[in-house]
Amino acid sequence: MQTKPETSLACAFKHKGSWALLLLLHCMLLSSCVTVPITGRSQLNIVSSSGMLALSNETYGKFKKSNQESADRKNTALVKNVGTRLQLAVEHYLRSNGMAAEVNGYLWEFKLFESKDVNAFALPGGKVVIYTGILPFTKTDAGLAVVMSHEIAHVIARHGNERMSQALISQMGGIALNEALSSQSQKTKDLWAGIYGIGTTFGFLMPYSRMQETEADHIGLIFMAMAGYDPNEAVPFWRRMAAQPGNRPLEFLSTHPAPESRIRQIQSEIPEAMRYYRK
């Protein structure tokens, strides 16, 4: 019986090369390396934005049904106002740098939900969720902008797409990867659930890599500066977060570098961010 020829990808998986070599192979075979805005890092992205948006919208719809939006009008308005300022700055940056087509792909929402958890997250497509538990740490508009710009940076840098690409490669290497996403098979949904924590602690993102978190800090500083928030406010915010008593880490800090290392890194990036700052 004649067997179906194997794809180059399937053959590659039979040879246990390094992960870095595998990523490089994909970049060459599928021309799927894209550049992260601002940092210029090359990342693997083999999934379509439409597929990611479909799964994101489904996830967000379920989240809203099982979680309570805050009835605090003042803080709800604050989250929306800060988010909108960041959105306008980010969209201006994208349009000014030849990425106008991407702007239409974002359906932004900035919502405040009731929870004692000190956390925030964003889904591909621009759904940004802030928990009331983090507000005592943000304290000011600029402090909230630190958190929201960090989450928006994850969206703009397509960190979710990158993680999904890596998961698809590692677990679905021998099939048509983008087709797996667009068809939204159960296995594909299971991968998404593993990445975004559905079925475990719903609404909490599973950890980004430390590299992605550090990159989101960097990009977020610049985005908040573009929106007119002083990037220097990031340092006292992270010091407040690091100073909390009890067993570390808080959920929002779980994959980041040690607090002092992180603060030093942020301080080293503030001069670059200040070049974009306009009061």
pLDDT of residue 245: 66
pLDDT of residue 278: 84
Q: Rounded distance, CA 265 to CA 213, Å?
A: 12
What does the DSSP 8-state code read for residue 69? B
Amino acid at 189: K
Q: Is the dihedral of CA 19, 20, 23, 24 positive or negative?
A: negative
pLDDT tens readout for residues 158-181: 988 888 777 776 665 544 455 555
Give residues with Cβ within 8 angstroms of 70, minimum separation 6. Answer: 76, 112, 113, 114, 132
Candidates 47, 8, 48; CA nearest to 25 is 8
Q: Is the dihedral of CA 211, 214, 218, 224 positive or negative?
A: positive
Annotated catalytic residue within 58, 102, 151, 215: 151
pLDDT of residue 279: 76
pLDDT tens readout for residues 92-112: 999 999 999 888 889 999 999
184 within 8 A of 55, measured Cβ to Cβ: yes
pLDDT of residue 201: 39
Find how far residue 31's CA is from the centre of its chain.
Answer: 23
φ, ψ for residue 274, nearest 5 deg: -65, -20
pTM, whole model, 2 decimals? Answer: 0.80
pLDDT of residue 58: 84
> Is residue 151 annotated as part of the catalytic site, yes or no?
yes
Residues of the chain with pLDDT under 70: 1-32, 169-208, 245-258
